[in-house]
Structure 1
Amino acid sequence: MSATKEAKIVVVGAGFAGLAAAATLVRAGFQNVQILEANGRVGGRVHTTRPFSQNIIELGANWIHGQEGNPLFQLAKEHGLLVEGVSASKVMCLPRSVTPRDYFFRQGGRQVSTESVDQVCSLFSKLTSKAFESELEDKHRALSLGSYLDAAFAESPLAASEDGQRLFEWCKRSECTDEASSSLYEVSASQIGYYIALEGGFFNSLGPGGYQAILDILLKDLPSEIILTNKAVKSIHWDLKEQLQANEKGGLNHPVKLICEDDGVFEADHVIVTVSLGVLKQQAGTLFKPSLPKSKLTAIEQLGFGTVDKIFLCFNERFWPEDCAGIQLVWDEGPEDKSVYTSHSEGEAWKETWYKKICGFDSVARHPTVLCGWITGREALHMETLQDSEVGDACVRLLRSFTGWSVPDVSKVLISRWGLDPQVLGSYTFVPHNVNGVKEHEALAAPIPFQNKIPESKPLQVLFAGEATHVNFYTTTHGAYMSGVREAQRLITHYTTKTVTS
């Protein structure tokens, strides 16, 4: 029997990274592949639901980030999962994708002119593009993203007007949602240039099946018995001496042992760990026996992992104009202001105004009476502790006070709670200020033990995948997918080389 068929591989996590790894291995001929998923469902941070009607709501991942070179876009296109024209119904408004169909309101009810919005958002887009394209001036490279944007904006005539200042703060608040940070003062300005935005922009034209339809394509390549749900892993034992001693006693036949929360035991030659960086931050110290190398523990500690949540408000009837794609809230003083965010005297006062972190409420594709609000960072984590009704009431108050429209009471509220989800503990990765993102992403992705590092040890016992392990595509679904393929290919190459040299 070939080594490919004999090798036992366990994948921890059934999100895009785990499913991509398993599907790639199965297609390559590996016959002993098992996925252990802690949740009762597959998908990880992709969660397609139908809470209001037969049409889908995405509680998790929303977009295909770019088209050119994006395997998920290609997969969706090949299987007819794209619907042209749906992208016109925005689900989220970002500074670089603001349209005339967004209504911006200042606190107190005054609508901001489209001209002012266009000018400020265009400048913001230009400034952030300099960071993403690694074109920062030397004087800005050592700054946080927030400090760089403040300094660059101060040089613009737009900074002289109050509307300009407040709109720029709105742009920063919206960018926090993109970065999964509490504040842009947490985020590195120079390191963000290593993130690669694929050509084609944010592509939100998935058909009625949503992201679940792409997951289903991967699931078709996997025998149903491969995936075990409700199988949370408690510990991963990969210590060479421990395994050798067990083998001498007639125990284990493989170098890795996984123990689940329900005391189930799985043996493996290799384990591909795809849990979120949030879970690693909480459990890395106890999950692996022996402990992970210092470089990997440092990477887990240094990289940022923030929370982004969605607040869906379902009304019995539409109260906003047909040409309105989003209602954006421009505060006189918001949580994105540096003086507010860094104030040591603030204490816990920000919890009383958590709702100021909501950028606005955007229309939702296929749901004419549903709005979606976005919230991020510490305010999102606090919001998750509140009852749905309390959050819904706060949102309705905001809509009434900012617009002056006759806003009815909300009929249904649906909230994502990724920060408190024990299997995720956040949403996605960012590179903090003064952190070398490339170094830490690569350290997180490195397998243990690596080939030839410990000659007497079986190599590649523990491999790591997930969006946080990708240098250029962290935060994205395609980054997660590609990292899973990467680790599967690492094993395929290992066994191909082994077969050739044996």
Structure 2
Amino acid sequence: MSAPQAVSKDAKVVVVGAGFAGLSAVSTLVQAGFQQVKVLEANGRVGGRVCTTKPFTRNIIELGANWIHGQKGNPLFQLAKKNNLLSEEADEDDLDDYFFKEGGKQLSDKLGEKVTALFEKLISKASDSKIDRKYRSLSLGDYLDAAFAESSLASSGDGPRIFEWCKRNECTNEAASSLFEVSAYQLSEYIELDGEFYNCLGPGGYQALLDYLMKDLPSGIILNNKAVKSIQWDLKPQGGSNHPVKLICEDDEIFEADHVIVTVSLGVLKQKAATMFEPSLPQSKLTAIEQLGFGTVNKIFLCFNERFWPEDCEGIQLVWNEGPEDKSVYTSHSEGEAWKETWYKKICGFDSVARHPTVLCGWIAGREALHMETLQDSEVKDTCLRLLRSFTGWSVPDVSKVLISRWGHDSRVLGSYSSVPKGVNGFEKQKELGEPLPLQRKASDSKPLQVLFAGEATHENFYATTHGAYLSGIREAQRLINHYSTKKK
């Protein structure tokens, strides 16, 4: 790393955002010898869409990012393993999802296993580019419906209802209001790493990984409560300043830089990109921001004084007679707002929570998740209790504490993670989003690499994941390192 060190001492770099993308970028730059680096974080805490908290007991709850997606080739898994931050692997072979029908009847375990196994097989075909050619232009929802119709399970009584639950559950993976909005074939660009998901890290949760990335950073390098209002770039030397980039914060403090790495969420870019940058972003980048999907997924944590569900129950899953992922229902409601009256149908179920034997977590995605955010905690809690009691028929006690995420209305995020809508070339748009400014294809005497972009939505293969965000930050830091290494030579 010696080549860039001497030159990089004079390069001023500002990183916007202290999530995984921002922290991996600044950590990589500092290790390479960059000495004039600052991180501007809008919140009073680091982490971005990672939010590790302890609302119920001394044990952690992940209000945001929850999983390490895969093991082989996953740098966050390797970091966690190397630093003993992984939880001990629990034996979950004896744990089952309990599927309950609307009206209080528990469905057959075998039928549930058959339908969910078929669903996973169909998703794998889409992910591995093995999807039949006739399905490639379809939405993910249309593809799944058409493929399921060819199975004997489609006429197996409650099979279609469980399949509808699978689609509703998949909406949380895609951060989508409906799978009928998501591309089927473009799913193949996403690379799913081998190995089990870790749905919970060790006692420190995701915060422990953030702390590891920050442990060797110089004091004062991260400035909290520093929201950036505007980024002026391609500035010409004037008034003694030779820096091409100027960042103006909401408190009117100004930072000058040679390079800025922007790691704000795609949700923030969708709202502010048109006015945040001066001069305006190229049309190709604005189009990418507009066309890529960015949805909301929320969690509803219910804490009880005592456990009422069986020890072998991993989750209580809700199967409706007619649910929000049924295409006819979704289409008929798309022009109006009747769906707001039944927003709770988008709750897939209530899953057990690691280290919290008396806590359940409900998942909800899309427009229903956004609507849920506008309701009082008490209304959401009462609705969840009603669902648990009516579906299971069990004696469900009152909730002692509730914790609800509201990522869609968080002005510093405005959603959860990205997806590729139907009809959009995700690989192309993600690449456009990650292209640094000024554009290399444009002949110019401007200083290179003034504005760089990182974050999960800029990663063509690992979008919507923490390791995608982490790797994108390293990618942009390495771009600067390579630039100065070449410049020195």
Query: Does the TM-score normalized on the shorter chain lie above 0.5?
Result: yes
Q: Deviations over 1:408-433 (max 9, x none)?
A: 11111100000000000000000000
2:205 corresponds to: 210
Q: Distance in 2 between matches of 1:356 and 1:231?
A: 39
Q: Distance in 2 between matches of 1:346 and 1:29?
A: 55
User: Aligned runs of 1:92-131 on 2, under 5 Å?
Assistant: 101-131=96-126
Q: Distance in 1 between matches of 2:443 and 2:332?
A: 49
2:232 corresponds to: 237
Bigger mean CA deviation after superposition, 54-63 or 338-347: 338-347
2:23 to 11, 19, 25: 19
1:43 to 40, 43, 47: 47
Matched, 1:301 2:305: no
1:61 to 65, 68, 71: 65
Q: Distance in 2 between matches of 1:198 and 1:313?
A: 31
Shift of 1:201: 3.0
- Structure 1: stretches of 5+ with no match in the other structure: 90-98
1:174 corresponds to: 169
Contact in 1 for aligned 2:300/2:361 (Cα 8 Å):
yes
3-state SS of paired residue (2:322): coil
2:318 corresponds to: 329
2:426 corresponds to: 437
Bigger mean CA deviation after superposition, 166-175 or 337-346: 337-346
Q: Distance in 2 between matches of 1:484 and 1:264?
A: 25
Shift of 1:456: 0.9
Q: Distance in 1 between matches of 2:334 and 2:13?
A: 52
3-state SS of paired residue (2:467): helix
2:301 corresponds to: 312
Q: Tell me how many residue pairs correspond in the alignment.
A: 485
Shift of 1:454: 3.5
Shift of 1:347: 1.4
Identity over aligned residues, as a percent?
Answer: 74
Q: Deviations over 1:109-156 (max 9, x none)?
A: 000001100110111111111000000111100100000000000011
3-state SS of paired residue (2:409): coil
Shift of 1:66: 0.5
- Structure 2: stretches of 5+ with no match in the other structure: none
Q: Distance in 2 between matches of 1:301 and 1:216?
A: 34
1:93 corresponds to: none
Amino acid at match of 1:28: A
Distance 1:429 1:413, change over 3 A: same
Q: Distance in 2 between matches of 1:31 and 1:437?
A: 36
Amino acid at match of 2:51: H
TM-score, normalization: structure 1? 0.95
Bigger mean CA deviation after superposition, 354-363 or 205-214: 205-214
Shift of 1:323: 1.1
Amino acid at match of 2:389: R
User: Aligned runs of 1:47-446 on 2, under 5 Å?
Assistant: 47-86=51-90, 88=92, 101-238=96-233, 240=234, 243-244=235-236, 247-248=237-238, 250-343=239-332, 347-446=336-435
Contact in 2 for aligned 1:109/1:404 (Cα 8 Å):
yes
Shift of 1:372: 0.1
Amino acid at match of 2:120: S
Q: Distance in 2 between matches of 1:499 and 1:472?
A: 32
Contact in 1 for aligned 2:200/2:354 (Cα 8 Å):
no
Q: Distance in 2 between matches of 1:125 and 1:322?
A: 26
Q: Distance in 2 between matches of 1:201 and 1:346?
A: 40
Distance 1:457 1:362, change over 3 A: same
TM-score, normalization: structure 2? 0.97
Distance 1:2 1:346, change over 3 A: closer
Q: Distance in 1 between matches of 2:91 and 2:340?
A: 35
Shift of 1:346: 6.0
Amino acid at match of 1:130: K
Shift of 1:439: 0.5
Distance 1:213 1:488, change over 3 A: same
Shift of 1:450: 3.6
